[in-house]
Amino acid sequence: MPTADGTGPAAAHPVAESAEDFARAVAAVRERIARAAAEAGRRPEDVRLLPVSKTVPEERIRLAVRAGCGFLGENKVQEARRKAENLADLDGLRWSVIGHLQTNKAGHVARFASEFQALDSLRVAEALDRRLQALGRSLDVFVQVNTSGEESKFGLAPDEAAAFIHRLPDYSSLNVRGLMTLAVFSADTERVRACFAGLRTLRDRLRQDAPDGIGLDGLSMGMSGDFELAVREGATVVRVGQAIFGPRPVPDGHYWPGLAPATTTTTTTTTTTTESEPDR
């Protein structure tokens, strides 16, 4: 299946089986980031690539780390915690939790994660802050905003973001770095682009009145099928899984219940599809 901006077949992503394979895959993604950044008059070094290793076995993650992947994203807390514990011998390996978090799992995230990209609840903020304070740690966070308006997605409504962000200074262990969104799962690239542009516009507006100590420079948006669109619209972090690790063996609903099956649409210029999973 072609990717969301018509640049290539998502289903053709090879499965990386060696450190050399991973190095080639990462280099190919970085080259695509660089091209998209150049088209938007941006510097490619201003875009952080976050490889997403969900469902990837630990032995393959070790190969990815050898190839330079030192900061990895995971959706499910239990899976991320297990991997963090079993790969603790890899010096410098850091973890970003990018999926929805329940308060009863906040303690796990506080112990092992360096970053949490799906903050959309003050109850979760309070639970994380309490656990982090007890551990003497801090955590970088992104506030998740639902720019597509889909009921199946978590995240704040855009008009709720300002009030939410003004409460975050109460949680001193949380270092707010920016906003995160998942684009609509659509073959219509203009609908996808609108989600990314909407987050950038919201960030620019919120930044004018942000409380002291709240950083809103970051925009985490874009996945294997649409990260080039995201970069053109200002992404500073792209969460890429299948374009680096290859196709996943589990159905979409394992991570995103209610996710509609992929659809393909052909136009006179490009053929596009929804990516099978929003976080790449």
Predicted local confidence at residue 14, as pLDDT:
84
- At residue 12, the pLDDT reads 65
Is the residue at 2 inside a domain?
no
pLDDT on residue 217: 97
Strands 271-273 and 264-266 come out as: antiparallel
66 inside domain: yes
Residues constituting the chain: 280
**pLDDT, position 266:** 32
Q: Residue 97: inside a domain, yes or no? A: yes
* Report field, pTM of the whole predicted structure over 0.85: yes
Give Cβ neighbours of residue 75 (< 8 Å, ≥ 6 apart). Answer: 52, 54, 97, 98, 99, 255, 279
* Residue stretches of the chain with pLDDT short of 70: 1-12, 250-280
Q: Does any domain span residue 280?
A: no
pLDDT of amino acid 280 = 53
Beta bridge mates, 143: 119, 179
Quote the pLDDT of residue 96: 98
pLDDT at 185: 85
Cβ contacts of residue 108 below 8 Å, gap of 6+?
77, 78, 81
pLDDT for res 13:
81
Domain span at residue 68 reads: 10-273
Quick one: tokens of 263?
A: 């659809």
The enclosing domain of 233 has a CATH number of 3.20.20.10
Run of H or E residues at 257: none
**For residue 51, is it within any domain?**
yes
Q: Is 208 helix (H, G, I), strand (E, B) or coil?
A: coil
State how beta strands 237-240 and 48-51 pair: parallel
Counted domains in the chain: 1
- Asked if residue 119 belongs to a domain, the reply is yes
Identify whether 278 is part of a domain: no
Asked if 149 and 185 touch (Cβ cutoff 8 Å), the reply is no
pLDDT digits (tens, 9 = 90+) for 106-129: 999 999 999 999 999 999 999 999
Structure confidence at residue 251 (pLDDT) = 52
**Domain annotation covers residue 5:** no
